[in-house]
Amino acid sequence: MSNPALIFLLIFIGAPLIELYFLIEVGSVIGALPTIALSVFTAVLGGLLVRMQGFAILFRAQSQLADREVPAFELLEGALLLLVGFALMLPGFITDAVGFLLLIPPLRRWLILRWLKNRGMLQPGERPAEPQHRADRIIEGEYRRDDE
- In tens, the pLDDT along 106-117 reads 999 999 999 888
Residue 104 in any domain: the answer is yes
Residue 110 in any domain: the answer is yes
Residue 55 in any domain: the answer is yes
Residue 140 in any domain: the answer is no
Residue spans of alpha helices (H) in 10-131: 15-30, 32-66, 72-89, 93-101, 105-118
Distance from C-alpha of 86 to C-alpha of 77, rounded to nearest angstrom: 14
Residue 86 in any domain: the answer is yes
Q: How many domains does the chain have?
A: 1
Residue 138 in any domain: the answer is no
Q: Which domain holds residue 27?
A: 10-124
Q: How far is CA 70 from CA 61, 75, 108, 131, 147, in A?
A: 8, 9, 19, 10, 41
Residue 32 in any domain: the answer is yes
Residue 133 in any domain: the answer is no
| pTM of the predicted protein model | 0.71
Render pLDDT for 8-35 as a digit per residue (tens, 0 to 9).
888 888 888 999 999 999 999 999 999 9
- The 3-state DSSP class for residue 139 equals coil
Contact 11, 94 (CB under 8 A): no
